[in-house]
Structure 1
């Protein structure tokens, strides 16, 4: 479904206290921005923000940063970001292709990829967020114990992701093609899309991936 533009969305996003406009200035210094040395988790494609703000509320000792490149989507996350007690979450309006300009090597503990665009045509494979070009970027910003948590309803994207991840030397664990009927559902935080898909009886695929660093 195509979202309509919200009148004044650029101004609303730019003026919001939880939206970072000068994100490149914090490269290697994000813990100064948060005011603590807690681990940093990021979500790429945060949408309306329910997932990341729920995590922030439930895990006050973890810092969260959401990426969303579309202003008309990010403006709809402002209500979730407005919760007064959520001082451990910020959002960035930018494309993840620039992630190396925002984070220093080893600065991130976890990356969440939730229901990313599957880009179904083969000629668009490089745009998939689990393509090896993105994996190389993730590897640089992840800490030695860092990992990717990936969920999708798209079986083709899931199989592609497994192949890319394993082909390029990453390890996988907690792999399931039906999350909500698996042992890994405990503690799972759902996104808006996930709630919709589960209500329709659609299986959710999930995995965790990490690169052993020498």
Structure 2
């Protein structure tokens, strides 16, 4: 591991807005009151990477609390550091494996979920690793409030098609869908937030897919 990654891992462990592994378990069922200090709606960004969506959503919606989730602390470092430097208090980061999410959130604790440019896991043998595979969708259902929404932004056409297929198979409620977000009528200030990877895809003229659904 490079020196820069080691430095970021060490530094992120000192950040007040980052909880790691078992630290986050004590927040289960009380994120709004115990961690943020205010009872506001909770929004998650899964596989948040550098946390661009979490930080920018927190700026746009001070009336909500945001939690970016990823396992790679050196990536979380960027978003967490930006939030600290800019005094953004309604965003936090949680370093865990997403398959363990039920250990960290109670039933109905979450209002909305964003999945932004996750690894599409294109190999058939890795289908269960896709963040929109049925087992993951069932986990999200358990922690979301009734009517809570899930949003997927991806450059990967295969993951978009796969997720749409699962929405239909599981009889979920498809709310919005487009295969070319920035040429669609649904693009808005929230959907125009761009991650590091999204900017790279757009520079190469790659279309961006978007889905929103509920249970």
For Structure 1 versus Structure 2, the TM-score category normalised by the shorter chain is: over 0.9
CA distance in 2, matches of 1:72, 1:178: 31
TM-score (norm 1): 0.93
- Consecutive aligned runs of 4 or more in structure 1 exceeding 4 Å deviation: 2-5
Counterpart of 1:27 in structure 2 is: 28
Structural mapping, 1:83-162, within 5 Å: 83-162=85-164
May I ask how many residue pairs the two structures share in their alignment? Answer: 210
Does the 8 A contact of 2:127 with 2:133 survive in 1? yes
> Given the alignment, which residue of 201, 205, 214 partners 1:210?
214
Shift of 1:77: 3.0
5+ residue gaps, structure 2: none
Q: 1:171 to 1:19 in 2, by over 3 A?
A: same
CA distance in 1, matches of 2:158, 2:151: 17
Deviations 1:76-109 (Å, cap 9, x if unpaired)?
A: 3333222343110000111111111111101001
TM-score (norm 2): 0.92
Counterpart of 1:57 in structure 2 is: 59
Shift of 1:201: 1.4
5+ residue gaps, structure 1: none
Deviations 1:18-61 (Å, cap 9, x if unpaired)?
A: 10131100111111121112100000011111221011011100
